[in-house]
Amino acid sequence: MSFFLPKLSCKKDIDDAVKSVAEKVLVLRFGRDEDSVCLQLDEILSKTAHDLSNMASIYLVDVDTAPVYTRYFDISFIPSTVFFFNGQHMKVDYGSPDHTKFVGSFKTKQDFMDLIEVIYRGAMRGKLIVRSPIDPRNIPKYDLLYHDI
């Protein structure tokens, strides 16, 4: 459930989170608490949060509260998860069209943990984009809407 994970409700909170999390992956889940897929994702996130506490900090953001970031991060589907490291955005190639965020929920907790580990290792080595270890069959499919059409 999402009440284990901290929530950010305004742009300033998100800014603070991005700036303050040091030497750890920052996971921002953009979505709504009531949405079913979001609930699934939130459960995975909260169950793995403790085990990943040395590598990652996880926050939940309601898309309605910070529209600037909703636009800035081009969030069209929820839930979308964005990863940062030391204030820098980390891109991940999941095999899906959008590398800037992870759209949808994970199939298993292990998938999420593997992903976090890969992002962490890549960041430690100076990589801004890494390749996801998750089996492409487990990645949710979606159609990317073309912008300005």
Residues that bind other proteins (CB under 8 A): 11-12, 15, 18-20, 22-23, 63-64, 67-68, 70-76, 78, 82, 84-91, 98, 100, 122-128, 144, 146-148
Q: Where are the alpha helices (DSSP H) in 21-108?
A: 36-49, 67-72
Kindly tell me which of 13 and 109 has the beta carbon lying closer to other proteins: 13
User: With respect to other proteins, which residue has the nearer C-beta, 1 or 22?
Assistant: 22
Q: What are phi and psi of 84, to 5 degrees?
A: -130, 155
Residue 1 or 128 with smaller CB distance to other proteins: 128
Closest CB to other proteins among 137 and 143? 143
Do residues 4 and 49 touch, judged by C-beta distance below 8 A?
Answer: yes
- Sole residue written with tokens 């929530």: 7
Measured from the CB atom, the residue of 137 and 149 that comes closer to other proteins is: 149
Q: CA 33 to CA 42: how far, in whole Å?
A: 8
Nearest distance from residue 98's CB to other proteins, in Å?
6
CB 95 → other proteins: shortest distance, Å? 16
In the complex, least distance from residue 55 CB atom to other proteins, rounded to whole angstroms? 13
> Minimum distance from CB of 104 to other proteins (Å)?
15
CA neighbor of 115 nearest in space, from 92, 141, 138: 92
Minimum CB separation of residue 112 from other proteins in Å reads 20
In angstroms, the CA 118 to CA 137 distance is 18
Kind plus residue range of the DSSP H or E element containing 113: helix 109-124
